[in-house]
């Protein structure tokens, strides 16, 4: 893990709970929900030099996202050190637009690995930058919502999808009728 001089971090209160952001000289490297079942390393839990321009921009863009004014992020992301397959999955996921969803199978096909839905799900479960890489926009082939690494998991995923204008019914995305969501 990086030492305190190589990254900056901050905790941010949002409508979906506390979010921990960590940046490096190469870009945003972490966005996590500290209250989730995922455990952060002790050195990740402090705020070291929280006033960097990258963290300020990330906080501002998250605020705009939660107010509905921003539909995509323009923060440089640091995905160094991740396995190549996971990196391809995360980059494909990052391309899913606001208010739209993709299935695990569609994402597997998009990265050239049709039939690798479970591997896609595993890669997304280890997404180091949820929200910035919108894994909440990936659903099951039947329209059902599956895991999300936040304290309230599926409820948080549902909140984010509703925030983006999607309709849910009985834990599934409800097909839109005409026009955009």
Catalytic choice (55, 93, 107, 135): 135
Task: Note the pTM of the prediction, 2 decimals.
Answer: 0.86
**Over pLDDT 90: what percentage of the chain?**
65
* Residues 6 or more apart in contact with residue 50 via CB below 8 angstroms: 8, 9, 10
CA angle at 163 for the pair 161 and 169, rounded to the nearest 5°: 50
Residue pair 67/60 in contact by the 8 Å Cβ criterion: no
Band of residue 105 on the pLDDT scale cut at 50, 70, 90? very high
* Residues 6 or more apart in contact with residue 87 via CB below 8 angstroms: 79
Q: What is the DSSP letter of 144?
A: B
Catalytic (active site) residue 135: yes
Domains of the chain as residue ranges with CATH:
4-67 (3.30.160), 84-173 (1.10.10.10)
Q: Mapping DSSP to helix (H, G, I), strand (E, B) and coil, where does residue 36 land?
A: coil
């Amino acid at each position: 893990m990086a030492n305190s001089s190589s990254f900056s971090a901050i905790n941010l209160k949002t409508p979906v709970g506390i979010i921990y952001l960590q940046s490096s000289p190469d870009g945003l490297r972490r966005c996590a929900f500290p209250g989730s079942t995922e455990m952060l390393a002790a050195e990740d839990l402090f705020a070291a030099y929280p006033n960097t321009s990258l963290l300020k921009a990330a906080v501002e863009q998250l605020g705009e996202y939660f107010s509905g004014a921003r539909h995509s992020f323009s923060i440089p992301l640091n995905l160094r050190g991740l396995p190549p397959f996971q990196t391809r999955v995360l980059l494909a996921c990052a391309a899913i637009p606001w208010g739209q969803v993709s299935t695990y199978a569609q994402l597997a096909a998009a990265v050239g690995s049709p039939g690798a839905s479970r591997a896609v799900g595993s890669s997304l479960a280890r997404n180091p930058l949820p929200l910035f890489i919108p894994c909440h926009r990936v659903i099951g082939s039947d329209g059902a919502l599956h895991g999300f690494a936040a304290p309230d998991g599926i409820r948080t995923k549902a909140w984010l999808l509703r925030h983006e204008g999607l309709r849910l019914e009985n834990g599934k995305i409800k097909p839109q009728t005409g026009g955009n969501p």
